[in-house]
Chain A
């Protein structure tokens, strides 16, 4: 058994009812709910693990009543930090572990410890993401509009983007409100774009840039780019770093009388 599996067995013996991690999948490791010691041998944790497990931490029917341990990759740590800041997680009931760059298992006890660890891990775009950013930034507004309308003509409104996002935990999503019907239930290019714009706006100051939404999209629309672009703007305007506390409160939900209003003409 690898050291992850050994640790999982120990955690279960200590009384954890669930160890959330990854097991081998068809193309890449997939989420795995380890509840018995015999299952621990399936656990893996390496750079091929990309799914954001934090999405399961806010589902009470999966977490149950006992103590839960989670093997978190960096993006999951960011999500856990943000969810804790939003009062969605009680860290006292969670054992959060990660595998450091030195292949050591590290356990976190507090939000400060997670944030301190994350401050050493830079948030960066991948090369493909940088290439897409360059390509889109070089376009005119009209060209960019055409690009996105074309992309969103392929969207089938499966909501995999929403389902995969750890921050989309609302028990009643805006898509489920029908008075008024904010989000069109059927796919159509402009309403599909409206849905994504809405999602980005609901993620301002909350998105931690894990890219789960883009990976989840079955038709390959780079929806994560939109939120990552928003993160760039937040970084420039508000000094936002995913997973870290915002200096003066959450960007979109905090108001101060002396906020700049120079964008109002």
Chain B
């Protein structure tokens, strides 16, 4: 890892260089009281003075809807047109939080485990993550309880820590990050030895011990806590869709006459139809079973299977939930 310093002017020059190279730059943009990732053309468009974006940045590597392949049927002959990796643009995700960058890791594990998912792999290869450490947090954040933190660098290609002078401390973490820096190398100065990143980080209290949660969940399948916790859950997909690590998807057909596309789109284990068989039999017929699946999958099944937790403590699910299903609160009450 290499440390640097970049001034306010340097940042502006570097940002222009990113755009000039033809890269697609996604950054948080404000829309009334919501902030979300959008393609931007200048640094002015980037929002500040917010704690967290509504949605994660996972749509850059795992789009909301993606064409897997297309088909044509003509004169009794069917032809398939495969996904073309060359159509995926180079992308920079600017100013994500450490919890989001970390979120790409469980996502990648899921898509790389066993069979390799070439669509995901292509998107990830062409995406560089520029995270900014967090100087603010709110009561929904709990990154420090899930092995993360406001200055965690795992998963980022570059991490910036904003300074009062408008510049930033820079940590170049991967070759991809280095390549991005090289687009405007002169904008980067020698590191400031007297600056300590830690003093600029938000204070995020630890609310629970992850090991305790995992141990508790081993025997919790038949507990009646799931019913109690999920009573007010409406069964919408908001929590799964805003989550940086939720990767469940649906595969659907988009026919248009004699041609069409096969499309992959986001899905949620919280929807009532997720596990329903064609016969009508549904192993998870009531919401308490689906809520249990969400928690067990992220905090018990995933660590057992691929050694990684399915939560980064970003708090988005809790903020997005129409009925205030606060995951930090639910987890803490599990071990109370």
Contacts and interface: CB of A to CB of B under 8 A. Distances in A.
B220 interface: no
B145 interface: no
Contact of B55 (A55, A56, A61, A219): A219
Nearest to B250: A185
B36 A154 contact: yes
A159 B237 contact: yes
A186 B65 contact: yes
Given A159-B237, A160-B234, A163-B235, A31 B64 contact: no
Interface string A168-199: 00000000100001001111100000000000
Interface stretch (B27-35, B173-181, B194-202, B294-302): B27-35
A164 interface: yes
A31 B234 CA distance: 11
Contacts of A187: 64-65, 265
Interface in B190-243: 231-232, 234-238, 240-242
A33 B323 CA distance: 12
B286 A216 contact: no
Interface string B309-336: 0000000001010111010000000000
A30 B323 contact: yes
B130 to A, nearest CB: 23
Contacts of B12: none
Nearest to A212: B322
B236 A188 contact: no
A19 interface: no
Interface residues of B, number: 38
A67 interface: no
B284 to A, nearest CB: 12
Contact of B234 (A25, A163, A176): A163
A70 to B, nearest CB: 13
Contacts of A33: 231-232
Contacts of B326: 25-26
Contact of A26 (B139, B231, B241): B139
Nearest to A31: B232
A156 B64 contact: yes
Q: Which of B231, B265, B318 has the most CB of A within 10 A?
A: B231
B54 interface: yes
B236 A158 contact: yes
Contacts of B231: 31, 33, 62
Contact of A220 (B32, B140, B273, B318): B32
Interface in B43-91: 54-55, 64-65
A215 interface: yes
A159 B236 contact: yes
Contact of A51 (B31, B34, B263, B323): B323
A164 B232 contact: no
Nearest to A172: B273
B109 interface: no
B252 interface: yes
B236 A160 contact: yes
A44 B64 CA distance: 39
B64 A186 contact: yes
B266 interface: yes
A7 interface: no
- List of 7 A-B pairs having minimum Cβ-Cβ separation, nearest first: A186-B265, A216-B322, A163-B234, A163-B236, A186-B65, A218-B320, A30-B324
